[in-house]
């Protein structure tokens, strides 16, 4: 009986070491533009869908097989996790890579990102466990913009009127400043309008489908304002 227990323990340890060796040789080598990186902004409370990651197995001898998740961490802030399609097992041959489309949308939040520019380390982890080493980690630059509703701004400095709107919105910006850039995103995180250069304060929303939209406005002093409006 004791010999059987020792054998089971030995097999378990071997599996953990194998899983660790497999995981330690994996690395993220690319992330699709659906995961916004500098100079594009990552907006809080907004879903980012259809993100694709490319993961490579640098082990020249062993094939990786199993479930995967991504870890993302900025400095001392708590790390975030993305399970790469729960219940899916992946096979990555030695010295080969695969593309994985993440089925669930990703949300940026203030617990894992600070306002402004973030250098984020991204690495894959086996869901089978084992010791994890950040092998050749992927570095992402995330320009995180916390969502602040219009009501939380001083309305004398920034406002969106009328809201809701069906043709035009007017952006009330601080005195002596002008708009350098305005971008509008739908709830899926897709950019649907992009205006730049010396803008007037009137922005057309005609042609957009009815619903909720997120707006990012940059003024001539490089201040970034976020707001939410309704198109009807």
Render each residue's pLDDT in the chain as its tens digit; 232 residues. Answer: 434 333 333 334 333 333 444 446 899 999 999 999 988 888 887 889 999 999 999 999 999 999 999 999 998 889 999 989 988 999 999 999 999 999 999 999 888 998 888 999 999 988 876 545 556 789 999 988 876 544 444 444 677 888 888 888 988 877 778 888 888 888 777 789 988 866 778 888 988 998 888 888 888 888 888 888 888 8
Residue 225: CB partners within 8 Å, gap ≥ 6? 153, 158, 173, 216, 217, 218, 219
How far, CA to CA in Å, does 221 sit from each of 2, 170, 174, 176, 193? 74, 19, 10, 10, 22
| pLDDT score recorded for residue 12 | 41
Residue 227: CB partners within 8 Å, gap ≥ 6? 149, 150, 153, 158, 160, 214, 215, 217
Which residues does residue 231 pair with via DSSP β-bridges, in sequence order?
165, 211
Q: Which domains does the chain have, with CATH numbers?
A: 2-145 (2.60.40), 150-231 (2.60.40.3080)
Rounded Cα distance, 136 and 177, in Å: 44
Contact 222, 144 (CB under 8 A): no
Q: Which residues of 114-137 are buried (b: 16+ CB within 10 A; e: fewer)?
A: eeeebebbbbbbbbbebebeebeb
């Amino acid at each position: 009986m004791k010999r059987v227990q020792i054998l089971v323990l030995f097999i378990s340890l071997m599996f953990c070491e194998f899983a660790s060796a497999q995981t330690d040789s994996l690395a993220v080598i690319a992330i699709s533009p659906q995961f916004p990186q500098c100079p594009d902004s990552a907006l809080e409370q907004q879903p980012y869908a259809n993100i694709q990651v490319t993961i490579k197995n640098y082990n020249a001898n062993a094939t990786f097989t199993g479930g995967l998740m991504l870890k993302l961490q900025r400095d001392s802030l708590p790390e975030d996790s993305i399970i790469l399609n729960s219940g899916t097992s992946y096979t990555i041959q030695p010295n080969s890579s695969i593309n994985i489309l993440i089925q669930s949308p990703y949300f940026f939040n203030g617990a894992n990102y600070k306002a402004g520019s973030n250098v984020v380390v991204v690495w894959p982890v086996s869901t089978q466990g084992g010791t994890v080493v950040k092998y050749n980690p992927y570095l992402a630059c995330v320009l995180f913009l916390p969502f602040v509703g219009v009501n939380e701004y001083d309305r004398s400095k920034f406002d969106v009127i009328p809201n809701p709107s069906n043709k035009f919105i007017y952006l009330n910006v601080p005195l002596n400043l002008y708009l350098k850039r305005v971008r509008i995103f739908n709830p899926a995180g897709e950019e649907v309008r992009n205006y730049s250069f010396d803008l007037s304060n009137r922005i057309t929303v005609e042609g957009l489908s009815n619903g909720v939209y997120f707006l990012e406005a940059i003024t001539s002093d490089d201040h970034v304002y976020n707001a939410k409006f309704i198109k009807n």
